[in-house]
A and B are shown apart, each in its own frame.
Chain A
Amino acid sequence: SQTIHQWPATLVQPVGSPLSLECTVEGTSNPNLYWYRQAAGRGLQLLFYSVGIGQISSEVPQNLSASRPQDRQFILSSKKLLLSDSGFYLCAWSVQRYRAYGYTFGSGTRLTVV
Chain B
Amino acid sequence: DQQVKQNSPSLSVQEGRISILNCDYTNSMFDYFLWYKKYPAEGPTFLISISSIKDKNEDGRFTVFLNKSAKHLSLHIVPSQPGDSAVYFCAASRTSGTYKYIFGTGTRLKVLA
| Chain B neighbourhood of A57, CB < 8 A | 98
* B43 and A106 contact, CB distance less than 8 A: yes
Could you tell me how many residues of chain A have their Cβ less than 8 Å away from some Cβ of chain B? 30
List which A60-97 residues lie within 8 A (CB) of chain B.
88, 90, 92, 94, 96
Pick the contact of A51: B36, B41, B49, B98 (CB < 8 A): B98
* B46 and A102 contact, CB distance less than 8 A: yes
Whether A108 contacts B100 in the complex (CB less than 8 A), given A100-B51, A102-B46, comes out as no
A60 to chain B, nearest CB (A): 12
A92 (CB) vs chain B CBs: closest residue: B43
The yes or no answer to B45 lying at the interface (CB within 8 A) is yes
Whether A43 contacts B46 in the complex (CB less than 8 A), given A49-B98, A51-B98, A99-B99, comes out as no
Whether A108 contacts B51 in the complex (CB less than 8 A), given A43-B105, A49-B100, A99-B99, comes out as no
| Chain B neighbourhood of A108, CB < 8 A | 41-43
A49 to chain B, nearest CB (A): 6
CB within 8 Å: A-B pair count: 63
A51 (CB) vs chain B CBs: closest residue: B98
| Chain A neighbourhood of B51, CB < 8 A | 100
| Chain A neighbourhood of B103, CB < 8 A | 36, 43-46
> Chain A 1-20 against B: per-residue CB contact (8 Å), 1 yes, 0 no?
00000100100000000000
* A46 and B100 contact, CB distance less than 8 A: yes
8 cross-chain CB contacts under 8 A: A43-B104, A43-B106, A44-B89, A45-B103, A51-B98, A96-B98, A100-B51, A102-B46
